[in-house]
Amino acid sequence: MTKHECRSEASFTIIELLVVIAIIIILAGLILSTVGYVQKKGARSRAEAEIAAISAALESYKADNGIYPRGNASGSGTTAPYDTDKLDARLPIASAYQPACLFLYKQLSGDTNANLQPPVGAKSYFSFKPQMLAGARDSNNNITSVIYIRDPFGNSYGYSTAYQYSPTTGYNPTFDLWSVADDSSGTNQAQWIKNW
């Protein structure tokens, strides 16, 4: 055999290279499609765990205070839908939940000014992790004031005590706590993560 013949036997043809590239592209597509599913599944699991943990903190709050946190999140009397007694859990817009969620944050964290600096001696029922909070940020991207409790999908959690106000509204005689999950329109309640 000549030197030229040995080299041609050991090389790949263009067809073989194209087949290998096509297989790599197919495998990459399969992997990328499962990554999105795994991320959504992980976010749902985290939201379920957070709702369970916040619910436990609410039970501790009730044990100390005799009731679940109820009140007007805007601080201006009876303005609906910010009043936790009037916030309908069926509202489709997650941004409407933010004031009641801020009220819930203040009650559970003891941080009455929502500036991440609870007054000395304030009782805290729940320690919120930074990724659970949305708010104003400084130049170093640290939260300086809290706007609402953020679910793993980037939306505000919903919190309502409407059933306590009137048994014809709300879902639970205790409290409603929910996340619209990745349903940005808020219209598909079957996808929501909720405590009822």
> 31-45, 114-128, 135-149, 163-177: which range is least confident on average?
163-177
Residue 8: is its pLDDT beyond 70? Answer: no
| Residue whose entry in the numeric block shows the structure tokens 């050991």 | 10
192 near 179, Cβ under 8 Å? yes
Task: Tell me which of 10 and 156 has the higher pLDDT.
Answer: 156
86 near 77, Cβ under 8 Å? no
List pLDDT tens digits, range 44-103: 999 999 999 999 999 999 999 998 998 875 555 555 456 788 787 776 666 678 888 899
pLDDT at 9: 62
Task: Tell me which of 27 and 169 has the higher pLDDT.
Answer: 27
List pLDDT tens digits, range 109-118: 998 888 888 8
Residue 66 token pair:
């005799």
How many Å apart are CA 184 and CA 186, to the nearest integer?
5
How many Å apart are CA 45 and CA 139, to the nearest integer?
32
> 39-43, 105-109, 164-168, 183-187: which range is least confident on average?
183-187
Mean pLDDT of the chain: 84
How many Å apart are CA 14 and CA 31, to the nearest integer?
26
